[in-house]
Amino acid sequence: MTDELYLETEETEEREAVFGDGDAGKRLDAAIAERFPDLSRSRVQELIASGGVRIAGKSGTPSKSARICPGDEIKITLYKRVPLNAMPEDIPLNIVYEDDDVIVIDKARGMVVHPARGNETGTVVNALLGHLGEDALSCVNGAVRPGIVHRIDKNTSGLLVIAKNDLAHAGLAGQFHEHSIDRRYMAIAIGAFREEEGTIDAPLGRDPSNRLRQAVRREPGGRRAVTHWRVLERLGSLPGGAGNAGEYTLIELSLETGRTHQIRVHLAYISRPVLGDDLYGPAKGLVAGQGQYLHACALGFDHPRTGERLCFESAPPAYFREMLRKLKG
């Protein structure tokens, strides 16, 4: 395996370029990549989407396909990167299913899926490498994300499937692309729902004001995101803490797309954030700092080698059940 993932540091670098007549009509991403050969076109596109590229005299985030005009002055903000590696670690995993091609685990809240800034060790990938060996996972995503086909957030618990080889990875990735994988979540939402079920269809992208957050973005940079929800149980109240008073609802959610933080952003967008979500929910409350009450409770997919439909379910963990007990009074 080779290093294909880098760690973004807090150190920034500013770059500028002024384009002339010879650049007229070129796409913005292509022109920047041509001017700065050390930046791949894919990284330039990431920078544009995250708000790291500005055209002087023009407001808002430009589109990657915007056409260059002579005299355009581009300002780029780069977060410097250093190579990141994943090493085997002896960390227990809750393995739900395993064969020669795939492994399904029930991830605990507080565990990151793969190494990243601030979480270089102690991740699911480190645990998998310790359990299976360094060459026992697919190589598609490089040395830092071996076998990782999809992710769930650090403070989200529940089911995750990992590919042991490239055939399995390709088969699972194809199903995610075709939206044929069944992914369902349970969440405790702050607030009441008037309807019994509904759909949130709102594009998501990097929040230009906070690079740690995602946001609904209908301007260039937003990608289609669709979340379906239905009410499982209408709960009581949890008085005594700012941001935690009022009604709560236990809901089930299914993903039609799989964007970063999708459920959390979508529920916050309709003013029904996930209980305990410090990034998108109330800043203060009885459960602040403990993590969101969001659990990946069901996962179904076709086995990438045999075609057999595999379906798994996971009951909410103890802390989740205890909160439900309190809210039911």
Does residue 5 surpass a pLDDT of 60? no
Q: Is 324 helix (H, G, I), strand (E, B) or coil?
A: helix
Q: Which listed residue (72, 101, 106, 153) is catalytic?
A: 153
Q: Sorting pLDDT into bands at 50, 70 and 90, what band is 171?
A: very high
Beta bridge partner(s), residue 119? 116
Lowest mean pLDDT among 30-39, 78-87, 102-111, 211-220: 78-87
Phi-psi region of 51 (alpha: psi -120 to 50; beta: other; left: phi over 0): left
Ranges of each domain in the chain: 6-83, 84-178, 182-302+311-329
The superfamily CATH assigns to domain 6-83 is RNA-binding S4 domain (3.10.290.10)
DSSP 54-82: EETT--SPPPTTPBP-TT-EEEEEEEEEE
pLDDT for 163 equals: 95
Decide whether 84-178 matches 182-302+311-329 in CATH topology. Answer: yes
Predicted TM-score (pTM) of this structure? 0.74
Catalytic: 277?
no
Name the CATH code of domain 84-178 (choices 1.10.10.10, 3.30.2350.10, 3.90.1150.10, 3.40.50.300): 3.30.2350.10
The superfamily CATH assigns to domain 182-302+311-329 is Pseudouridine synthase (3.30.2350.10)
| Residue-wise pLDDT tens digits, 301-324 | 999 999 999 999 999 999 999 999
Classify residue 196 as exposed, middle or buried by CB count within 10 Å of its CB (0-12, 13-18, 19+). exposed
Q: Which residues contact 45 (CB under 8 A, 6 or more apart)?
A: 29, 64
Q: Sorting pLDDT into bands at 50, 70 and 90, what band is 242?
A: very low
Classify residue 142 as exposed, middle or buried by CB count within 10 Å of its CB (0-12, 13-18, 19+). middle
pLDDT for 111 equals: 93
For Cα atoms 141, 313, 270, give the angle at the middle one, nearest 5 degrees. Answer: 80
Does residue 57 surpass a pLDDT of 90? no
| Residue-wise pLDDT tens digits, 92-122 | 999 999 999 999 999 999 999 987 767 778 8
Give the whole-angstrom CA distance, residue 9 versus residue 45.
19
* Tokens at 283, concatenated: 């800043």
CB 257 within 8 A of CB 225: yes
Closest residue by Cα to residue 323 from 268, 244, 263: 244
